[in-house]
């Protein structure tokens, strides 16, 4: 077997070209053709820092290739949605990533991969884009079927530059036997092969995790994710995709974490605190009186999830002189789970009553913004 395989992984940090083609020899995606497509980028490198593509499959979830995000720091990842042009900052919806769930059986070897998918939990839901449904029945994907692939990846083999404009290509599903003739025995039931029947267009570097879309009764569904292909993105050779019907159950397990409503519950001294309520000695939100500047007092509050779904704490902000949270509470709280939130007050001046508040942005549908009001006096 020829050494022609490569994952389509690429960190694309070069300047965006003014022209060119993504998905080698692809065409511009029509407005609204892929409304749920996501660009996955890194914050710790020069813009755009494109890692690969993905698809919004739940209001707080993006599905992508595991090899694209494996080993990357979650805090350095960002997801761009609602755009076809990467530099469209006016339309772009940006989301941070709270957690990356790699498939537990993901593995890669010599440019090939198996079980190559990962779920990204966004720091807050996307409410203006309808998520893409999944092909769950393998019978809906047959050799010869017409499907589409899209991405911002490289336009020329050997040049890792990303393209600014989202590009797409029509491809045709191939049999696993045909794919195995090129890639060998690694090809299994969890893989899906496709190529352009005209042998002109092909996914390439930076297209990893991008969607392979099948239209069923006029509605688009996610059939596969770009995984690996030939080293030089040869359009005469198949591209291998992750076979989505094989993983519908695993994907559903992640979606279920946020499908049910969560509920934030904060207590101090075993007393429930209401969002926006005034500070009280009884629950510890009134820190009492401290003697002199730089005096310090700490209160520990319990942050719990009393709902059925996964509670996410997207951000924690403190305001008011002297008040701060050290360290920040965990961003994810499972059903019935509790974490400690430590609030510190360091007296800034004498003879004053100081007020502050801690704001928590969460996915609790009833209390998406929780305000913990605080107070302290300094003699």
> Could you tell me the CATH number of the domain that includes residue 231?
2.40.10.10
What's the confidence (pLDDT) of residue 16? 28
Residue ending a domain, choose from 190, 225, 257? 257
- Give CA–CA dist 379/363, Å, rounded: 40
The answer to whether residues 293 and 364 belong to one domain is: yes
- Please list the pLDDT of the chain residue by residue as tens digits (379 residues): 333 555 655 443 322 222 333 467 789 999 899 999 999 999 998 888 999 999 999 999 999 999 999 999 999 999 999 999 999 999 999 999 999 999 999 999 888 999 999 999 998 889 999 999 999 999 999 999 999 999 998 766 556 677 899 999 999 999 999 999 999 999 999 999 999 999 999 999 899 999 999 999 999 999 999 999 998 899 999 999 999 999 999 999 999 999 999 999 999 999 999 999 999 999 999 999 999 889 999 999 999 999 999 999 988 999 999 999 988 899 999 999 999 999 999 999 878 999 999 999 998 999 999 999 999 999 8
The answer to whether residues 171 and 301 belong to one domain is: no
The answer to whether residues 113 and 29 belong to one domain is: yes
Residue ending a domain, choose from 257, 287, 311? 257
What's the confidence (pLDDT) of residue 158? 59
For Cα atoms 10, 15, 18, give the angle at the middle one, nearest 5 degrees: 110
Helix (H) or strand (E) holding 317: strand 311-319
CATH number for position 306: 2.60.40.10
Other CB atoms closer than 10 Å to residue 266's CB: what's the count?
22
- Give CA–CA dist 235/199, Å, rounded: 5
Other CB atoms closer than 10 Å to residue 74's CB: what's the count?
14
The answer to whether residues 278 and 142 belong to one domain is: no
The answer to whether residues 291 and 235 belong to one domain is: no
What's the confidence (pLDDT) of residue 19? 30
Count of domains for the chain = 2
DSSP 236: T
The answer to whether residues 186 and 329 belong to one domain is: no
C-beta of residue 59 within 8 angstroms of C-beta of residue 127: yes
Q: Is the dihedral of CA 243, 175, 212, 164 positive or negative?
A: positive
In tens, the pLDDT along 1-13 reads 333 555 655 443 3
- Give CA–CA dist 152/162, Å, rounded: 6
The answer to whether residues 36 and 166 belong to one domain is: yes
What's the confidence (pLDDT) of residue 349? 81
The answer to whether residues 253 and 364 belong to one domain is: no
The answer to whether residues 42 and 96 belong to one domain is: yes
Task: Report residue 201 as tokens.
Answer: 């267009």
Distance of CA 21 to the CA centre of its chain: 25
The answer to whether residues 275 and 250 belong to one domain is: no
What's the confidence (pLDDT) of residue 154? 76
Q: Kindly report the length of the chain.
A: 379
What's the confidence (pLDDT) of residue 17? 29
- Give CA–CA dist 157/26, Å, rounded: 13
What's the confidence (pLDDT) of residue 1? 32
Residue ending a domain, choose from 257, 289, 310? 257
The answer to whether residues 251 and 269 belong to one domain is: no
C-beta of residue 339 within 8 angstroms of C-beta of residue 305: no
The answer to whether residues 59 and 188 belong to one domain is: yes
Range of the domain at 304: 264-378
- Give CA–CA dist 175/377, Å, rounded: 74
């Amino acid at each position: 077997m020829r050494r022609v395989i490569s994952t389509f992984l690429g960190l694309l940090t070069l300047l965006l070209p003014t022209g060119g083609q993504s998905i080698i020899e692809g065409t511009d995606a029509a407005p609204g053709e892929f409304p749920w497509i996501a660009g996955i980028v890194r914050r710790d490198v020069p813009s755009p820092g494109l890692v690969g593509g993905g698809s919004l499959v739940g209001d707080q979830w993006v599905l992508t290739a595991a090899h694209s995000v494996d080993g990357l720091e979650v805090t350095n990842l960002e997801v761009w949605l609602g755009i076809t042009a990467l530099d469209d900052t006016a339309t772009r919806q940006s989301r941070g990533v709270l957690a990356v769930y790699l498939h537990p059986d993901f593995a890669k070897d010599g440019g090939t991969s198996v079980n190559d998918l990962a779920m990204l939990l966004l720091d807050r839901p996307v409410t203006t884009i309808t998520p893409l449904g999944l092909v769950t029945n393998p019978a809906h994907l047959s050799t010869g079927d017409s499907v589409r692939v899209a991405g911002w990846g490289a336009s020329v083999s050997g040049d890792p530059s990303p393209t600014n404009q989202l590009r797409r290509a029509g491809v045709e599903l191939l049999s696993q036997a045909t794919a195995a003739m090129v890639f060998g025995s690694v090809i299994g039931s969890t893989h899906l092969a496709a190529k352009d029947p005209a042998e002109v267009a092909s996914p390439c570097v930076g297209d990893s995790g991008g969607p392979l879309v099948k239209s069923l009764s006029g509605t688009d569904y996610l059939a596969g994710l770009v995984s690996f292909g030939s080293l030089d993105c040869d359009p005469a050779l198949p591209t291998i995709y992750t076979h989505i019907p094989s993983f519908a159950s695993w994907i559903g397990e992640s979606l279920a974490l946020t499908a049910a409503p969560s509920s934030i519950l904060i207590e101090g001294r075993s007393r429930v605190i209401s969002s926006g309520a005034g500070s009280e000695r009884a629950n510890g939100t009134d820190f009492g009186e401290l003697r002199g500047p730089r005096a310090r007092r700490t209160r520990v509050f319990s942050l719990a999830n009393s709902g059925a779904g996964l509670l996410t704490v997207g951000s924690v902000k403190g305001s008011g002189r002297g008040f701060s949270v050290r360290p920040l509470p965990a961003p994810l709280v499972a059903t019935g789970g509790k974490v400690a939130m430590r609030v510190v007050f360091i007296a800034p001046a004498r003879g004053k009553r100081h007020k502050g508040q801690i704001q928590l942005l969460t996915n609790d549908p009833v209390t998406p913004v929780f305000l913990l009001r605080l107070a302290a006096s300094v003699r």
